[in-house]
Structure 1
Amino acid sequence: MEFNNPTREEIGQLLRKAGNIAVVGLSDKSDRTSYMVAEAMQSRGYRIIPVNPQVQGEILGETVYATLADIPEPVDIVNVFRRDEYCADVAREAAAIKANVLWLQLGIHSDEAVQIAAENGMTAVTNRCIKVEDSIVLRGAGRG
């Protein structure tokens, strides 16, 4: 079965509904793409929840969690900055916490992760930058 990303209109709806975005693989280094994207999304009004077992404390003023299962509140989007081969495991974790969307960042695609997402009622987005999509579909108008 061939995978197709949601349409831009559907992506806009997903972003408008998003409250908490767990960012798996979020770096605490400000020169890393994951940090820059998460910071931009945070400045646009999204709640960013860092997930990185290598970092303790906070990133972007938010508590860092080692796994998705450690997050004590609902997650709408799981935004993934991990290599393709780790994405199926992240998809299983996202399904276990009942996330709504599995979002694999630009340059990342995993057929297995997409299949796991579909089997668990999640919408999958792959090989797309959430920051770029937000700026395109919401055109700087904010999230309301």
Structure 2
Amino acid sequence: MARTESKGRIVTDSRRIEEIARNARRVAVLGIKTEAQAGQPAHYVPAYLQGAGVEIVPVPVYYPDVTKILGQPVYRRLADVPGEIDILDVFRRPSDIPPHVDDILALRPKVVWFQSGIRNDEVAERLAREGIEVVQDRCLMVEHRHAR
């Protein structure tokens, strides 16, 4: 039974994906890149969202000396991010996601969004069982533009 319930939380319906993208107000970005990597999706996707009025909460994995990205204070761990998060946008290789699961569960975002090319069915199932909606292998920027 739990498997059926969790499948309902792994979002594949285009209308629901559009709704999630359209309603995002505060997005934490795990694996965000700095302005020095502006040509990479892990920077220009959150930059686009910020330009569209979405609050971005940077959670870089690298760049230990950086204290701000996109003018916002950097958090080193998801568990340290204050307040409610609509979407956790993930820019990590699928094999690098499992070590973040406990922090993701501590953060309790409404939705975890694995960017284009990123899919981890095991993690998605676990998050879904915990009541978190999961979108896999979709670009939040593309979906947000489409939903506007």
**TM-score scaled by length of structure 1:** 0.87
Equivalent residue for 1:62? 72
Instruction: For 1:127 and 1:91, locate their aligned partners in 2 and report how far apart those are by CA, in whole Å.
Output: 18
1:88 aligns to 2:65 (yes or no): no
Q: Answer yes or no: is the 8 Å Cα contact 1:88–1:116 preserved in 2.
A: no
Q: Answer yes or no: is the 8 Å Cα contact 1:42–1:48 preserved in 2.
A: yes
In structure 2, the gaps of 5 or more residues are none
3-state DSSP class of the match of 2:38? Answer: coil
Figure out how many residues of one structure are paired with residues of the other and give that number. Answer: 138
Matched AA of 2:53:
G
Tell me the alpha carbon deviations over residues 86-135 of structure 1, each in whole angstroms, 9 at most, x when there is no partner.
22333432222111101000000001111121111111000000000111
Matched AA of 1:6:
T
Equivalent residue for 1:78? 88
The CA deviation at 1:13 is 2.1
**Which structure is higher in helix share?**
2
Equivalent residue for 2:12? 6
> RCO (CA 8 Å, sep 6+): is it higher in 1 or 2?
2
Which contiguous aligned blocks of 4+ residues in structure 1 show a shift greater than 4 angstroms? 1-4
The within-5 A match list for 1:93-112 is: 93-112=103-122
Residue of structure 2 aligned with 1:41, choices 46, 49, 74: 49
Matched AA of 1:115:
E
Matched AA of 1:59:
I
Matched AA of 1:74:
E
After superposition, the CA RMSD in angstroms is: 1.8
Measured at CA, do residues 77 and 36 of structure 1 come closer, stay the same or move farther in structure 2, by a change above 3 Å?
Answer: same
Q: Answer yes or no: is the 8 Å Cα contact 2:30–2:61 preserved in 1.
A: no
Instruction: For 1:101 and 1:125, locate their aligned partners in 2 and report how far apart those are by CA, in whole Å.
Output: 7
Matched AA of 2:131:
G
Equivalent residue for 1:26? 32
3-state DSSP class of the match of 1:42? Answer: helix
Instruction: For 1:130 and 1:17, locate their aligned partners in 2 and report how far apart those are by CA, in whole Å.
Output: 12
3-state DSSP class of the match of 2:112? Answer: strand
Instruction: For 2:121 and 2:15, locate their aligned partners in 1 and report how far apart those are by CA, in whole Å.
Output: 23
Equivalent residue for 1:121? 131
Instruction: For 1:44 and 1:88, locate their aligned partners in 2 and report how far apart those are by CA, in whole Å.
Output: 30
Instruction: For 1:97 and 1:87, locate their aligned partners in 2 and report how far apart those are by CA, in whole Å.
Output: 15
